[in-house]
Structures are given as structure tokens and as C-alpha cells.
Chain A
Amino acid sequence: MLFSLNTQELMERPDLWEAVHRLRYKIFVEEMGWTDLKRPDGLEIDQFDHDEAVHQLVIRNGELAGYQRMLPTTRAHLLTDVLADLYEGTPPSGPNVWELTRYAVAPGFRDGKRGVSTVGTELIAGFVEWGLKRNVNQVIIEFEPMWVLRALQLHFLATPLGYQRTYGNQQVVATLLTFNDHTLDVVRSRRNHFAPVLAWGYPDMLGMRRAS
């Protein structure tokens, strides 16, 4: 299940809050080598973890398996403030446009050898469901150009926002993905899982596996 929490709600659950920032550190600082974000406490936190950010968590077996953060484009976000060389002209913004950042699948849940894991596609199904419920139909993502193909396979309408750039040894292109009910259908049938993934409320305490 995917739980969608704002920063306030996330902070009310210290176990989740810590798991989120620790996973982000593990992936973005240790794996991807984004050394600007290095901190001695092993937690990755930036200026965009503000009160309007939405944190989406995939929980599997009492563990944080996947994460992504949604940022409103009606205030400063990554593309405008940090990655400004990734867009040409004026980047899209408005209540229906959010920016998807920090997409991460925990190492133990990358079941697909090269493909996208089920946690990875749950994150995708999750933001589409979440968006359609609140009249959000576009997300800005800064990702590797490789992802353009996958987005098209899932019937997102994709539009590049600028040229692709090289950061370190990574290629990045800012892309606007537009989606609708049809996209959700395609994502669901690709996953072979048709029930909603978006859950209400809070997950159980981490580490507490449900008796089955």
C-alpha cells in the first residue's frame, strides 16, 4: 500500500520520518553520490521538505520499500531553484502541476533485474491515483532519459522541458508527464493489479509485521 502524508503528518510518526530520511540518504548520497547533501547523521533533508510537501511511502512487510516526494509548483521547487539549467522558456506551474522528486526503491525491493520493480510501479500507480483525486494531471520529473521510454510505454504524454544535461556521470532531462484515467488503466494492467494502491491513514509501526 502507498501512504500519502504531508510533512506535518510525517513528523508525527518519528519512525516513519526517520526511515524516510535514512532511505533518502542511502540512495541519493551513498548510491547516487550527491555529496552536497552529505550529513553526519545519515539523514537526507533539504529545503523542500516544507509544510506543503507530500511524502508518499510504499510499505511492504512493515518496512519502507519505496518513497517519492511531491512538491507544489506554486512555490519554489527543484526545477526553478536548483536545476534551472534543465528548462528552456517558462516551466509549467499551477495547482494541477506538481514536481515528483526523490523517487526511490529500497535495495531489498528491486526485484526486476533490469526492469522496474513492483514497488517502483506502485509508486507510479500511487502518484497517478493521488493526482487524479485532487485534480492534478501533470508532474514534472527530472530523470534519466531512459525513463522517457518507460513513461511512453505507460501511456503518459511526455514533453521535454529542456535539453538533457550531464551531472557527474548521470544524464538528466526534465520532463512534463501528463496523465488521465487511461494512463491509470494502462499502469494498472501493466502491473496486473487493478485495486487502488493509495491507502488512507497511517501504516502500522515499522518493523511490526502483520500476523498472517
Chain B
Amino acid sequence: MGHFDRTLEFIDQLQHANTPALVCEKLLGITSEFGLTALMAGTVPQPGTPRGQQKDHVLLCEWPVEWLERYVSRNYVDHDPVVSHMKQLQAPFQWREAAQGIRVDKSSGEVMGDAGEFKLRDGLAFPLITLDGQIVMVSLGGEAVELSGAEFGLVSLVSTYAIGRAMQLHTMANKTIDHIELTPRERECMQWAAVGKSEWEISQILGISEHTSEKHLLNAKSKLGAVNRVQAVAEAIRRGYIS
């Protein structure tokens, strides 16, 4: 089957993907052939957006959790050459171009070097603009990325369809809770999940059953409106519930 037929088949399957997690899975199924195994996409709140409304701006997330945590806690977003490149350009580009194009300050080098540690050596990224002018940043990464010019176009196009699907799901389920209360136990479990502990490990640390730790994590995930644990941890960090 040619590339184009595969693209059509993928877009058709997307119509039936009913959760962001499924959309992620379908998209990575296609992009992993080119070495792109991790994905992050979300809207960037416009300047002046109140913190309370900056919630749930993550649309799709399949990203190494430790990397996400380090990224947020060290405020890498301000030094990330990929992010600054994305702000300037409208078109898709490869991470390595961003790293070369920009006068790499010490911190930028650190960001890219650190990303490599998490098997994110290269990738591609591009901004999209929604109807109301919000910017969606899309980034796909992996350890060994090999893309020809045509494949590059294909990946960015299928990603756009995936983001579009995620946004449809997002509007359909737009009953987001404004105020979230995590219980102390839920918070503790999230804190341990954020440093990579499994449910069993958390249960041993806190002296509770594995089932109970699982339940706390599930509750926290659903309260945070997250589709998986990685997003839940990201949300919890961003909202300041854990550090």
C-alpha cells in the first residue's frame, strides 16, 4: 500500500478514535516508522490568560514522564531552542535545525543534551493556529529519526488531523472542572508517581495496599482531566499540587 493510501486509512481510523489516548496511539503507530516515538501537543495560552483558564491545554501527550518533570521544574521552556524556533516559524521543522540555527546559549545546549538522555535525540515540531488564533505547538521526537522530505510532509499532515480530532473530542467533553481538590493521599501518590514509582512501590512506601494506591492515582487522574498518568503528573506539577 502506498503512503497516500495509508494516510487515508489513518484519517478514517481517527474518526473512530474516541479518546485522546487512542488518537495518540494511532498517530504514534504511523510516526514510529520514522523513529518518532514520543509526542506532545497543546495550546499555548495567550498572554494575560488567567491561570484558572490555563488548565487542560495539553491535547495529546505521550512523553517520557521524568523528562516532562525535569522540563517543567527547571523551566526549560524558556531556553528550549525548539520552542523559540517554533515561535518564529509557521512551517514544520526538524529539531536539529532549531539547535543549529540558534546561537545556542549554555542553557539551550543543556536542554537538547538532556532531551538526548531521555532517548529524544531528534524530532520535528510545528505550530498550528486555531480558528480563534490560539497557537497549538506540536512536537514529535525519538532516538533515531529518519525522514525524507515527503515523509516529513506526511507526518506533519497526519499530525494535524490527529490534533484536529483531539480538539473535536476536547470540545465534546468540555465540561472541565474549574476547581480541583486532590486529597492528601492522592497528592502523595502523585508525588511518588512523578519520580517514577510503580503502584506497588508506592503502596510499600505509604504502607497501603497496591489496590488502594492504584485507586488514588486513578482518582487524581480523573480529577485532573488527564488521559494517562503522564498527563496527570504534568497537570499536577503545572497546577502546583506537587513539585
Given contacts A157-B15, A160-B11, contact A149 B133 (CB under 8 A): no
Which chain A residues in 19-48 approach chain B with CB under 8 Å?
Answer: none
Contact with B along A136-172 (1 / 0, CB 8 A): 0000000001101111111101111011100000010
Question: Is A199 interfacial (CB-CB < 8 Å)?
Answer: no
- B-chain residues with CB within 8 Å of residue A158 when the two chains form the complex: 11, 161, 164
A112 to B130, CA, bound (A): 11
* B156 & A145 in contact (Cβ 8 Å cutoff): yes
Question: Is A88 interfacial (CB-CB < 8 Å)?
Answer: yes
What number of A-B contacts does a CB cutoff of 8 Å give? Answer: 75
- Of A57-65, A76-84, A113-121, the stretch lying at the interface with chain B is A113-121
Q: How far is the CB of A7 from chain B (nearest CB, A)?
A: 31
Question: Is A128 interfacial (CB-CB < 8 Å)?
Answer: no
* B11 & A115 in contact (Cβ 8 Å cutoff): no
Question: Is B216 interfacial (CB-CB < 8 Å)?
Answer: no
* A150 & B160 in contact (Cβ 8 Å cutoff): no
In the complex, which range does the number of interface residues on chain B fall in? Answer: 20 to 34
Question: Is B8 interfacial (CB-CB < 8 Å)?
Answer: yes
Partner of A163, one of B90, B130, B150, B165: B150
In the complex, which range does the number of interface residues on chain A fall in? Answer: 20 to 34
Q: How far is the CB of A13 from chain B (nearest CB, A)?
A: 32
Question: Is B227 interfacial (CB-CB < 8 Å)?
Answer: no
Q: How far is the CB of A185 from chain B (nearest CB, A)?
A: 13
A160 to B4, CA, bound (A): 9
Interface residues of B (CB under 8 A from A): 2, 4, 7-8, 11, 15, 90-91, 128-136, 150, 153-154, 156-157, 160-161, 163-165, 167-168, 171
Among all A-B residue pairs, the 7 with the closest Cβ atoms = A152-B164, A115-B133, A114-B133, A115-B132, A148-B160, A164-B153, A88-B4
